[in-house]
Structure 1
């Protein structure tokens, strides 16, 4: 069996920037075991698989699933953007908006020139104590700690704190969470906030750009800064740029993509 595969750098307009995701279009679902093996073989933070949605056999509705090298996850932003990039720009779908049925509900992606805007559910956060291993693994005490769905969100005084953090991943891996988000106000006037994301327990030491983390970051910073439109940068080594908006119980995140690879998987 041969399957098409694409690799797209998401949340960037530069090759080798942003977050790379593998995209595998399917006519029918493969077994969970095979999809997990393909994701493990790809060894990227996410591999997305999609099929035409069973709910609505129209040209703009699909079902999507995401796999890290070790587990399936319920929500992934950059691989959704990368999938939409393939549907719009490689498969030449003529619609301006596409819908994805997912384990996190219906997700929308709207095309606006070279920008792709994700429409995701906002995630609530609540103040939290640090579980065992969290601060030891991150290596720097934050000024605030929140539990944000399946992640921890740590807030720091400055962007310099975010840049200097070098986690002990073996320690952080023991924390019972999908991942750990660290964030601070941006030092640049063109940005509102910066962040990084670590998920060694999910098979990813540091994720270059994490759309799903921004469903928690955007509500937090909208409240702190008193505005609903925000510009964000995830300051990993590859960096990623996001234009964000809090719209009621939804978070809109716009970014660009760059096609790196297209080929065939033989399984």
Structure 2
């Protein structure tokens, strides 16, 4: 759909890794994914010598019938792959969107570095009319991904994501919770605009609290979800109420150290000013 971008889920990645472990080497194949908006067409091509091995990853951008960019993309390893390779055929492969409303489409090339939990990132290409060249930025999503939505109905897309700095911060990955993050791309920069969406933050905080409650029923101490919940409460300007609920909820023997560590972490990550 035009108004939504995928959210990278760990279940997809886990399934991909499971398949990799049970798949024999295949003959090298060349693959291409494409996207287009108006007179801008983008294409990522790559070779797969073996399953979950990627080489010669190239990006080509054609603008008004002219190839404006054609370059090999850097890879951290041979398992660094276009995320399109993990998606079904019905998923959008290579988004081309006017992200900042200047009537010039940006190209969003998404990649996954491989591994059980990490990492995904986006290369966002912007056309500079003065130099007539494309420039790019790289934005890290960590273990998660994003959904591309027009949240404020102004015709421009936001990146709805999560704060991946909370992964492993207070507990194991599987028991970690994440505050909401919403990003906006403007003239070559990603800007955190999460606080502009208090209703979404409120709903997200409520979901985290429900997840915490369920985790407690299953025997987890819930520290990972309480931490993310409190961060959401800071985004809402309700930190006093958040601290009261967290302190009432967490009664284990390490509570004093946990609360001190949590306060320090929230300050380091910018939630507590």
TM-score (norm 2): 0.28
In our comparison, the structure showing a higher alpha carbon Rg is 2
Q: Which has the higher contact order (CA 8 A, sep 6+)?
A: 1
